[in-house]
Amino acid sequence: MSARQTLPRRWFMTDERLGDRLWQAIERLPQGAGIVFRHYSLDAAHRRSLFEKVRQKTRDRELLLLIAGPSEQAEMWGADGSHGRNSGAGIRSAPAHDLAEIRAAETAGADLVFLSPVFPTRSHPEAATLGPNRFAELAGQTQLPVIALGGMNEARFAALDGAYGWAGIDAWSGD
């Protein structure tokens, strides 16, 4: 089965501001969901240590784990793939905010794209949002599975056209 046939429809983007609520968020994910491990601000040793703890939780629940960073790092750390604007082995996701970035993800061979921000979000409170109509328009211009990100939850996903799935931070942490 190819990566595209098994991609999760529910995703959690880790975030430093969650603190210990990180574990609560992971527990709330449905079996087979995906996690994009970010935690960019940690030094390398602490980031690796936390990644290992998250990875152990993913094994127990059959969650897919991508690391934000180069695919070489994902392979070395034992992730299922990488998130970013890179190429390489494993499942690869890419961030996008407009059509040019979607095209760049396609060219790089991404397996899926996280299109954001759809709605206002605490992660990027000043960012201009796409809104449901622009999201649907952009999502309709690619064959890649499009994951809606930014102020998302299950109800908003259900009302959104063009999304393969959705990702969140606060939606999973209980905020």
Q: What is the pLDDT of residues 51-60, one digit of tens each?
A: 999 999 988 7
The answer to the question of residue 115 being in a domain is: yes
Determine the Cα–Cα distance for residues 19 and 175; give it in Å rounded to an integer. Answer: 13
Residue-level pLDDT at 123: 78
* Residue 36, in any domain of the structure: yes
Question: Would residue 101 count as lying in a domain?
Answer: yes
Q: Are 166 and 156 in contact (CB under 8 A)?
A: yes
The tally of domains found in the chain comes to 1
| Domain CATH number, residue 38 | 3.20.20.70
Q: Is residue 2 part of a domain?
A: no
Residue 75's domain comprises: 7-173
Residue 75: per-residue pLDDT:
93
> Residue 80 falls within a domain, yes or no?
yes
Residues in the chain: 175
At 14, the amino acid letter reads: T
Strands 91-96 and 81-83: parallel
**pLDDT score, position 2:** 43
Residue 175 pLDDT: 62
What residues of the chain score a pLDDT lower than 70?
Answer: 1-5, 175
Q: Which amino acid is at 115?
A: L
Residue in the structure block whose two tokens are 């994910």: 29
Residue 40 domain-assigned (yes or no): yes
> Is 16 inside any structural domain?
yes
In a domain, 1, yes or no: no
